[in-house]
Structure 1
Amino acid sequence: MRLSYCNETLAQEGMSFPEQCATLASLGYTGIEIAPGSLAENPLEVTVRDAEVLREQASAAGLEIIGFHWLLSALEHLSITDPSKHSETVAAITHLIDLNAACGGDVLIHGSPKQREIGVVGATKARRNAVEVFKRVAEHAGAKGATYCVEPLDPSQTVFINTVEEAVEIVDKVGHPNFRTMIDTSSSGVAESISVAELIKLWVGTGYIGHIHLNDTNRGVPGAGSDPFDEILAAIQTSEWRGHLSVEPFVLSGTATETARLAIKTLREIMEPSGGQCAP
Structure 2
Amino acid sequence: MKFGICNETFGDWPLARGFQYAQEAGYTGIEIAPFTMASSAYDITPAQREETRRAAEEAGITVIGLHWLLAKTEGFYLTTPDDEVRNRTSDYFAELARLCRDLGGTVMVLGSPQQRNLLPGVSEAEAMRLAADCLRRAMPTLEECGVTLALEPLGPAEGDFLLTAEKGMELRELIGSPNVDLHLDVKAMSSEAKPIPQIIRESAGHIAHFHANDANKLGPGMGEIDFHPIFAALKEINYDRWVSVEVFDYTPGLEKLVDGSLKYMQDCLNA
TM range (shorter): over 0.9
- What's the offset of the Cα at 1:42? 3.1
Q: Is the contact between residue 77 and residue 115 of structure 1 (CA under 8 Å) also seen in structure 2?
A: no
User: Hey, what does 1:68 align to over in structure 2?
Assistant: 66
Tell me the equivalent position of 2:160: 159
Give yes or no for contact 1:76–1:114 (8 Å, CA) kept in 2: no
Q: What is the CA–CA distance in structure 1 between the aligned matches of 2:65 and 2:266, rounded to whole Å?
A: 23
Aligned-partner Cα distance in 2 for 1:229–1:142: 34
Cα distance in 1 for residues equivalent to 2:105 and 2:3: 14
- C-alpha displacement of 1:253: 4.6
Match of residue 214, structure 1, among 173, 196, 212: 212
Matched letter for residue 116 of structure 2: R
Q: Which runs of 4+ in 1 moved over 6 A?
A: none
CA distance in structure 2 between the aligned counterparts of 1:44 and 1:254, rounded to whole angstroms: 34
Q: What SS does the corresponding residue of 2:4 show, helix, strand or coil?
A: strand
- Pairing 1:187-266 to 2, within 5 Å after superposition: 187-190=188-191, 192-204=192-204, 207-266=205-264
Provide the residue aligned with 2:24 in structure 1.
26
Residue 225 of structure 1 aligns to a residue whose secondary structure is coil
Give the distance between the partners of 2:255 and 2:113, measured in 1 at CA. Answer: 26
Structure 1 counterpart SS, 2:203: helix
Q: Distance in 2 between matches of 1:116 and 1:247?
A: 24
Hey, what does 1:278 align to over in structure 2? none
Higher mean Cα deviation, 51-60 or 84-93?
84-93
Are the equivalent residues in 1 in contact too, given 2:169–2:182 (CA < 8 A)?
Answer: yes
8 Å contact from structure 2 (residues 41, 95) kept in 1: no
Distance in 2 (CA, whole Å) between partners of 1:70 and 1:99 is 13
For 2:115 and 2:224, the matched residues in 1 are separated by 31
Instruction: Indicate the residue corresponding to 2:3 in structure 1.
Output: 3
1:277 maps to: none
Q: Distance in 1 between matches of 2:156 and 2:138?
A: 25
Deviation at residue 43 of structure 1 after TM alignment: 3.3
Q: Distance in 1 between matches of 2:8 and 2:98?
A: 20
Do the aligned partners of 1:81 and 1:118 also contact (CA within 8 Å) in 2? yes
Query: Is the deviation greater in 97-106 or in 44-53?
Result: 44-53
The alignment covers a number of residue pairs equal to: 268
Residue 187 of structure 2 corresponds to which residue in structure 1?
Answer: 186
Cα distance, 1:269 vs structure 2: 2.1
Q: 2:41–2:99: 8 Å Cα contact kept in structure 1?
A: no
- 8 Å Cα contact 2:76-2:85 kept in structure 1: yes
Q: In structure 2, the residue corresponding to 1:119 is in which secondary structure?
A: coil
Please, what TM-score do these two structures have when normalized by structure 1? 0.92
Give % identity: 30
Residue 86 of structure 1 aligns with an amino acid whose one-letter code is R
In structure 2, the residue matched to 1:17 is 15
Q: Which amino acid is the alignment partner of residue 152 of structure 1?
A: P
Q: What is residue 107 of structure 2 aligned with on the other side?
A: 107
1:130 is the counterpart of 2:110: no
**In structure 2, do the counterparts of structure 1 residues 76 and 158 end up closer, same or farther at CA, with 3 Å as the change threshold?**
farther
* 1:198-243 deviation per Cα after TM superposition (whole angstroms, max 9, x unaligned): 2112212xx3221111111111110110201011111111110011
Q: Distance in 1 between matches of 2:183 and 2:118?
A: 21
Work out which of the residue numbers 77, 83, 95 in structure 1 matches 2:75: 77
Corresponding residue for 2:175? Answer: 174
The AA in structure 2 aligned to 1:133 is C
- 1:46 corresponds to: 44
Counterpart residue type for residue 25 of structure 2: L
Contact 1:155 1:162 in 2 (8 A): yes
| Unmatched runs of 5 consecutive residues or more in structure 2 | none
Counterparts in 2 of 1:98 and 1:165: CA distance versus 1, 3 Å: same
